[in-house]
Amino acid sequence: MRQRGLSVAERTRRRLIEPLRRRMIGPLMARLGYDLTPAVPEWAHHPLSKREVDRLVAGAAAQLAADLAVAEVCAPADPEGLVRDFLGRIRSSPVRQKHGGNGFNGALQIYAIARALDPPVIVESGVFRGFTTWVLREACPEAKIYSFDPVLKHLRYRDPGTTYRSDDWSSFDFSGVDLSGALALFDDHISQERRLGEAAACGVRHILFDDDAPAHAIHGQGGPAYPTISMILAENRDGDCEPVRWVRNGREFVWRPDREGIRSAQERIAVAHRLDDMHRLTGYSPARLTYVRLKTP
């Protein structure tokens, strides 16, 4: 097959490095107990035949529309058009990440919700390589974006209209900025109870939390943000607050729910909807996003 339009690096990878990996280095590493896989983003793999593309688009669009309806977020007029538009965009994303951030499904959901809400201001906490900043910018070209991460050296995409800060978002002075229509994306491995309280305190009402997991599945996450929204909502605020305990990589974790904290977090929430993980529909890695709308003060 001809390989027109490929960069020299990509041609070298395909002709030289990939055969070497498959035949020699990969098997050697496997014998030593390591998996050596190419660091390409998952969206580099996709269906080619029209019928399969149409099925993927239709399934993802129907699920997005259903999720947005339950979340009480205005559904897109043309959900299939939105998914097709996103498919076209993501293939040219400047951030080609395989690990450490959102994949295709999470990015599509962030794109759909940001497009639907069309917020004038976006706060992003947890940037890493800048993939979700890119997604948010694609969805909302006019929005003022504030992106926070203590470590900004991994950025692969730096958005010219975004204010980047390495301090915590809760210490930033937003006076003079109207946050009432803002969208916040928290993907920073910080307690979601804490982030909810901070958002409420400065008038942010629309929030996307990444890495929301129920208590019985929180062991699946490294460096977890806990309590998560699911953990907060599952607690009976009038009952006994039993500790939640789990182990990951040999380290024990415990969350001791505090009745007052649970009560005030639960009372702030008008709508919380954990979005479908979309894996079954697209074949891409499961998303873990929850949309929360806080009550108007």
Ligand X SMILES: C[S@@+](CC[C@H](N)C(=O)[O-])C[C@H]1O[C@@H](n2cnc3c(N)ncnc32)[C@H](O)[C@@H]1O
Footprint on this chain of ligand X (rule: CB under 6 A): 100-102, 125-129, 131-132, 148-151, 168, 187-190
Compare residues 151 and 254 and give the one whose CB is closer to ligand X: 151
Compare residues 138 and 149 and give the one whose CB is closer to ligand X: 149
Compare residues 63 and 105 and give the one whose CB is closer to ligand X: 105
In angstroms, give the least distance from the CB of 241 to ligand X. Answer: 26
**Contacts for 119 with CB less than 8 Å, ≥ 6 apart:** 140, 143, 181, 182, 183, 206
**Contacts for 252 with CB less than 8 Å, ≥ 6 apart:** 245, 246
In angstroms, give the least distance from the CB of 229 to ligand X. Answer: 17
Residue of this chain nearest to ligand X (CB atom): 101
In angstroms, give the least distance from the CB of 257 to ligand X. Answer: 22
The Cβ of residue 242 has, within 10 Å, a number of other Cβ atoms equal to: 12
Closest to 184 measured CA to CA, from 165, 171, 166, 200 = 200
Query: What crossing angle do the helices spanning 131-139 and 104-117 adopt, rounded to 10°?
Result: 40
Compare residues 131 and 146 and give the one whose CB is closer to ligand X: 131
| Strands annotated E in the chain | 121-125, 144-148, 162-165, 183-186, 206-209, 244-248, 251-255, 269-274, 290-294
In angstroms, give the least distance from the CB of 184 to ligand X. Answer: 11
- Cis amide leading into 227 (omega within 30): yes
Q: How far is CA 236 from CA 111, 224, 240, 266, in A?
A: 33, 22, 7, 10
In angstroms, give the least distance from the CB of 1 to ligand X. Answer: 32
In angstroms, give the least distance from the CB of 106 to ligand X. Answer: 7
